[in-house]
Amino acid sequence: MDGNGRWAKARGLPRALGHKAGVDALRATVEAARDLGLSHLTVFSFSTENWNRPQSEIDALFDLLRMFVRRDLARLHKDGVRIRIIGSREGLSEDILALVDDAVETTKGNTRLTLNIAFNYGGRGELVAAIRDIARLVEAGNLKADQIDEAMISRSLWTADSPDPDLVIRTSGELRLSNFLLWSGAYAELIFMDLWWPDFTKESLEKAIDAFRRRDRRFGGLGA
Ligand code: FPP
């Protein structure tokens, strides 16, 4: 969800208001994803690298997450959205953890759309956590190194509950992954859109899906 800061700057507004507008775009996108029949939507809302930002901006982002869960949980639940959080619990306050745990628990039975919120997430950190878990099994003598395969690594990731993403969309014109879904996104189609996240609409999502449909996906083979 990139470009909130530049969206705000272009309007002479503080960055925090850009993130607030970003939450409005997120709300509309969740609704659009559900209406378009997507099964999973994963949004990058706070990266492990975002701790390098000024404390005031970090506080604003945490407040927005709190507000989003408090204000939107009932409606998301009613709309059949299952909320999952992917990321590290390290460094997060008790109140945030309790709030998101409650949202995950409340919505765990919903089946219409899974909304993965990547919060305190980094793709490399996700792999390190998975490798540590697997190494512990080896250390305890419960697993042999040769038994480690791709499926086991996928099952050990924070994204274990979700299928690999088909499509990764990055807004704001930047052309990089920035540590997002490094393992599970190995074969994702990448779409870069030249608009700031607060300007992302249902039409933007439809446009990205149309472009995705025209891609020839071969997964390393020769295709049909
Ligand atoms: C990137 O734009 C965006 C972020 C680092 C935060 C995204 C967060 C939200 C939209 C809301 C909070 C989360 C939830 C789940 C309610 P940027 O700040 O890097 O913008 P810039 O590149 O233009 O400076």
Spacing, Cα 216 to ligand 1 middle (Å): 31
What is the residue type of 74? A
Whether 182 contacts 158, CB under 8 Å: no
- What's the CATH number where 118 sits? 3.40.1180.10
Is 84 within the bounds of a domain?
Answer: yes
Is 30 within the bounds of a domain?
Answer: yes
Q: How confident is the model at residue 223 (pLDDT cuts 50, 70, 90)?
A: confident
Report the pocket of ligand 1 as residue ranges, CB < 6 Å.
1-6, 19, 22-23, 26, 45, 50, 61, 64-65, 68, 117, 172
Is 129 within the bounds of a domain?
Answer: no
**For 44-99, what is each residue's pLDDT tens digit?**
999 999 999 999 999 999 999 999 999 999 999 999 999 999 999 999 999 999 99
Indicate if 4 belongs to the active site: no
For residue 26, give the nearest of 199, 207, 212, 206 by alpha carbon: 199
Range of the domain at 190: 4-122+166-213
What is the residue type of 8? A
**For 5-50, what is each residue's pLDDT tens digit?**
999 999 999 999 999 999 999 999 999 999 999 999 999 999 999 9
Is 92 within the bounds of a domain?
Answer: yes
Is 143 within the bounds of a domain?
Answer: no
**For 101-155, what is each residue's pLDDT tens digit?**
999 999 999 999 999 999 999 999 999 999 999 999 999 999 999 999 999 999 9
Is 179 within the bounds of a domain?
Answer: yes
Spacing, Cα 52 to ligand 1 middle (Å): 14
Number of domains observed in the structure of the chain:
1
Q: Which of 2, 4, 72, 120 is catalytic?
A: 2
Distances in Å between the alpha carbon of 85 and those of 15, 136, 164?
24, 24, 16
Q: How confident is the model at residue 204 (pLDDT cuts 50, 70, 90)?
A: very high
Task: Record the pTM.
Answer: 0.96
Is 160 within the bounds of a domain?
Answer: no
Is 53 within the bounds of a domain?
Answer: yes
Spacing, Cα 178 to ligand 1 middle (Å): 13
What is the residue type of 45? S
Residues 6 or more apart whose CB falls under 8 angstroms from that of 139 comprise none
